[in-house]
């Protein structure tokens, strides 16, 4: 059976009883296909009739007619039905939906699952930046996706730990360090006024500029491109610095700690504004040592191979992959080394861990296939519980970003731009009269960040996306500000009603707008479950947009405050209250705040 919108288990039993009575066959519920009725047809739930023809032995239309008549006769809340080819569309009585509304309203943390037998211990890794540059647009999608997936899994009743591994060592870190040492003239965040991560990133770009000049000079002197790239003095010095770092050279380590400290302060500012957090931090400078031990033990166990030059490899050609380097000939580690060590450390830290989710772009798909395969070869049974939450890259109208060339869209700059745009649009609409400047600034921040987060998360994670700042902040269409405005509109209605507690009245008639909105609200728990099953905040985002859109239709078609029938007015206020609650709850799962006033 295809589960939909919290359908009563009694309906399933009634369908089974009808089939048994009509055709003398007891069908298990797995063979019943229930789905939402398509918008162009009348009905609340649709039974797919085609799979039942083998037991009915009559046409699809006759089968649907027979089952429909049986259900109307046996089930008090099945009011009517219609048959469209092989689909039986069932319409529920108004009293059913009014009762549902009351149940939803009375449910604490409506839509969320409590912890139970289904609950798992899940660790979600996201962000995981390098300490040689500030966070950029790609990091924003990564952070928002990982954070939201963690919150959605919590809403599904799982215990979740949010972590990141900070890539704080390696040749790329040494590049920034060396460039600062050679060309920085003692510049600090305090002396320059730059955030620490931006200052360090400045010298990463500087290194690349100098490196390219040296490569060009060597090529002009007769070297091949490969020879020039390997022999340029600045890259040779960077490799020497990495060896000194791994040998615990005091001067190199002090410089490393100082510059990484600058970066961490910068990262923390960005994370705070972005609204993401972590329960635990891992550092590559610690985990790579565990990885090296694993690699060495893999050699002893015959899983890996040490070559004549001292480098260690794993031959994965039998698994349809290639030869994988695990330790260089000089003994320095590669990314895979630290990832092996980090995975082991995490399962050591949390022995009850059921799943480890890596939020990393799809450019690293092959890396994670190799990582999970290597962990399995090392004998870790939990390797099968590791999952790569692979997502598409973020493109801009100007093309792909390149960190070392300084062509990235800086995360802080983008957030500033979004908030400035929100301010300009709000002032243009002229709806800020009477709002204190501090309240207005808080609203601009909420709208700008809401636009950014929602736009990033409404796209299926697997898809590559084009980020368009202007489109993301439009007050119309599938945007964060549209949903935020809808929430503020509902709150305004509730304030004006001056009713503190709305009791759902007993009604036997509701109109189609009321029915449609209650039915959509009833889908919230299943939406959260689907989003958790698919690790997709887009499921939540697009549901919330549909809900906001449906409410706006309801608002225009169904008078609320001027409604003379007190029972109808109470029903519409109850629908409004639950809609605002669900919008706020759903947007919170995306990390988005919604205003009470706009």
CA 343 vs. chain centroid, Å, equals 21
Enumerate long-range contacts of 331-336, CB under 8 Å, 24 or more apart. Answer: 331/246, 332/242, 332/243, 332/246, 333/170, 333/288, 333/291, 333/292, 335/170, 335/367, 336/291, 336/367, 336/370, 336/371, 336/374
The contacts of residue 482 (CB under 8 Å, 6+ apart) are: 474, 475, 476, 545, 548
DSSP state of 505: P
Q: Roughly how many angstroms between the first and final C-alpha of the chain, as a whole number? A: 44
CA 187 to chain centre: 38
H-run or E-run covering 312: strand 312-315
Residue with tokens 């939906």, as numbered in its chain:
97
Tokens found for residue 320: 């349809």
- By DSSP bridging, strand 355-361 and strand 121-125 are parallel
- Token pair of 482 as six digits: 């549209």
Tell me the per-residue pLDDT of 408-463, one tens digit each, with 9 for 90 and over. 789 999 999 999 999 988 888 776 777 888 999 999 999 999 999 999 999 999 99
Contact 168, 544 (CB under 8 A): no
pLDDT value of position 212 = 97
Beta strand 280-283 with 159-166 is: parallel
* pLDDT value at residue 2: 41
pLDDT digits (tens, 9 = 90+) for 457-486: 999 999 999 888 888 888 888 999 999 999
Evaluate whether 454 touches 592 at the Cβ level (below 8 Å): yes
Q: Comparing C-alpha atoms, which of 173, 73, 144 is closest to residue 411?
A: 144
C-alpha span between 303 and 295 (Å, rounded): 9
Beta bridge partners of 310: none
pTM (two decimals): 0.91
Residue 258 corresponds to which tokens in the numbers above?
């100082």
d(C-alpha 268, C-alpha 259), whole Å: 15
Q: What is the pLDDT of residue 434?
A: 75
**What are the phi and psi torsion angles at 109 (to 5°)?**
50, 50
Domain architecture of the chain: domains with CATH: 9-92 (3.30.1360.70), 126-299+328-405 (3.40.50.620), 413-589 (1.10.730.10)
User: pLDDT of 315-341, one tens digit each?
Assistant: 999 999 999 999 999 888 899 999 999
Q: What is the pLDDT of residue 452?
A: 96
Give residues with Cβ within 8 angstroms of 548, minimum separation 6: 482, 483, 486, 487, 583
Is the alpha carbon torsion for 201, 205, 207, 208 positive or negative? Answer: positive
53-83 per-position pLDDT tens digit: 999 999 999 999 999 999 999 999 999 999 9
Residue 7 confidence (pLDDT) = 58
Stronger pLDDT, 191 or 474, i.e. the higher one: 191
SS3 category, 71: helix
The candidate with the shortest Cα–Cα distance to 450, out of 406, 501, 426, 415, is 415
Mean pLDDT of 128-140: 93
What would the pLDDT profile of 545-556 be if each residue is shown by its tens digit?
Answer: 999 999 999 999
Distance CA 563, CA 576 (A): 14
Residue 306 has pLDDT above 90, yes or no: yes
Nearest to 392 by CA among 333, 328, 467: 467
Give percent of the chain above pLDDT 70: 96
Task: Classify the C-alpha dihedral 525-531-534-535 as positive or negative.
Answer: negative
Give the chain's mean pLDDT. Answer: 93
CB 142 within 8 A of CB 358: no
The alpha carbon of residue 18 and the mean position of all alpha carbons in its chain are separated, in whole angstroms, by 43
Nearest to 343 by CA among 315, 382, 309: 382
Distances from the Cα of 559 to the Cαs of 118, 489, 573, 576, in angstroms?
43, 14, 10, 12
Among all chains, which residue has been given the structure tokens 């569309």?
89
CA 546 from chain centre, in angstroms, equals 19
Q: How far apart are CA 502 and CA 577, in angstroms?
A: 8
Give the integer Cα–Cα distance in Å for 191 and 201. 16
Residue 329: which residues within 8 A CB-CB, separation 6 or more?
A: 307, 309, 310, 311
Q: DSSP alpha helices (H): ranges in 57-155?
A: 60-74, 94-106, 137-155
Report the C-alpha gap between 541 and 457 in whole angstroms.
7
Phi/psi of residue 256, each to 5°? Answer: -60, -45
Cβ-based neighbour number of residue 323 at 10 Å: 10
Instruction: Give the pLDDT of residue 395.
Output: 83
Distance from C-alpha of 442 to C-alpha of 465, rounded to nearest angstrom = 29
- Eight-class DSSP state of 482: H
- 457 and 426 in contact (C-beta within 8 Å)? no
Cα 506 to Cα 568: distance, rounded to the nearest angstrom: 10
Nearest to 520 by CA among 3, 4, 1: 4
Sort 97 into a burial class: Cβ within 10 Å, 0-12 / 13-18 / 19+: buried
Instruction: Output the six-digit token pair for 391.
Output: 């997502």
- pLDDT at residue 8, rounded to an integer: 63
DSSP 321: S
Can you state the angle between helices 566-589 and 137-155, rounded to 10 degrees? 120
d(CA 79, CA 510): 13
pLDDT at 382 over 60: yes
For the cut 60, the answer to whether the pLDDT of residue 4 exceeds it is no
Element (H, E) at 423: helix 411-429
pLDDT of residue 407: 54
Number of residues that this document lists for the chain? 598
Q: Do residues 213 and 179 lie in contact, with contact meaning Cβ atoms separated by under 8 Å?
A: no
pLDDT of residue 404: 43
**Rounded (to 5) percent helix, strand, coil in the chain:** 60, 10, 30
Residue 494 and residue 457 in contact, taking contact as beta carbons nearer than 8 Å: no
Helix (H, G, I), strand (E, B) or coil at 26: coil
């Amino acid at each position: 059976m295809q589960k939909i919108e919290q359908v009563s288990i009694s309906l399933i039993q009634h369908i089974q009883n009808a089939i048994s009575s009509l055709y003398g066959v007891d069908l298990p519920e797995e063979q019943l296909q229930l789905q939402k009725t398509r918008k162009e047809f009348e009905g609340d739930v649709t039974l797919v009739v085609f799979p039942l023809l083998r037991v009915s032995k009559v046409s699809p239309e006759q089968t649907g007619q027979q089952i429909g008549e049986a259900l109307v006769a046996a089930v008090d809340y099945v009011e009517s039905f219609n048959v469209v080819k092989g689909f039986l569309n069932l319409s529920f009585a108004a009293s059913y939906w009014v009762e549902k509304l009351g149940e939803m309203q009375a449910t604490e943390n409506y839509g969320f699952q409590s912890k139970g037998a289904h609950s798992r211990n899940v660790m979600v890794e996201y962000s995981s930046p390098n300490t040689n540059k500030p966070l950029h647009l790609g990091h924003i999608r990564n952070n928002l996706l990982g954070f939201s997936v963690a919150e959605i899994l919590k809403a599904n009743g799982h215990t979740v730990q949010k972590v990141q591994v900070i890539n704080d060592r390696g040749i790329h870190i040494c590049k920034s360090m060396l460039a600062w040492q050679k060309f920085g003239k003692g510049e600090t965040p305090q002396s320059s006024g730059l955030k620490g991560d931006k200052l360090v990133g400045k010298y990463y770009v500087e290194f690349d500029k100098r490196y390219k000049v040296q490569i060009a000079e060597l090529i002009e002197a007769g070297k091949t491109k490969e020879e020039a790239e390997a022999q340029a003095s600045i890259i040779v010095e960077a490799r020497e610095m990495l060896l000194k770092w791994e040998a615990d050279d005091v001067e190199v380590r002090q410089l490393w700690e100082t510059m990484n400290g600058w970066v961490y302060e910068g990262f923390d500012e960005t994370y705070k504004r972005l609204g993401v957090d972590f329960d635990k931090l891992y550092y590559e400078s610690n985990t790579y040592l565990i990885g090296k031990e694993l690699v060495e033990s893999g050699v002893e166990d015959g899983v890996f191979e040490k070559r004549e030059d001292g480098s260690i490899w794993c031959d994965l050609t039998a698994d349809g992959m290639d030869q994988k380097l695990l330790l260089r000939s000089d003994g320095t580690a590669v990314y895979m080394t630290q990832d092996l060590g980090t995975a082991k450390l995490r399962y050591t830290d949390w022995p009850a861990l059921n799943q480890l989710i890596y939020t990393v772009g799809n450019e690293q798909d092959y890396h994670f296939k190799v990582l999970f395969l290597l962990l399995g070869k090392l004998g870790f049974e939990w390797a099968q519980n590791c999952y790569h939450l692979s997502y598409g890259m973020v493109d801009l109208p100007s093309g792909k970003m390149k960190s070392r060339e300084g062509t990235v869209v800086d995360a802080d700059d983008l957030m500033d731009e979004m908030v400035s745009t929100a301010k300009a649009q709000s002032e243009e609409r002229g709806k800020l009269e009477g709002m204190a400047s501090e309240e207005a600034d808080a609203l601009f921040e909420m709208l700008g960040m809401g636009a950014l987060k929602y736009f990033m998360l409404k796209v299926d994670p697997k898809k590559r996306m084009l980020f368009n700042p202007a489109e993301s902040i439009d007050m119309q269409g599938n945007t964060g500000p549209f949903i935020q405005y809808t929430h503020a509109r509902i709150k305004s209605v509730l304030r004006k009603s001056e009713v503190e507690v709305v009791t759902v009245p007993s009604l036997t008639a509701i109109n189609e707008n009321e029915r449609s909105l209650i039915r959509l609200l009833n889908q919230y728990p299943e939406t959260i479950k689907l989003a958790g099953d698919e690790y997709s905040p887009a499921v939540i985002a697009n549901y919330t947009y549909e809900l906001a859109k449906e409410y706006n239709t309801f608002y225009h078609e169904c008078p609320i405050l001027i409604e003379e029938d007190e029972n109808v007015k109470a029903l519409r206020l109850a629908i409004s209250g639950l809609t605002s609650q669900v919008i706020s709850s759903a947007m919170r799962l995306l990390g988005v705040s919604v205003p009470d006033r706009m």
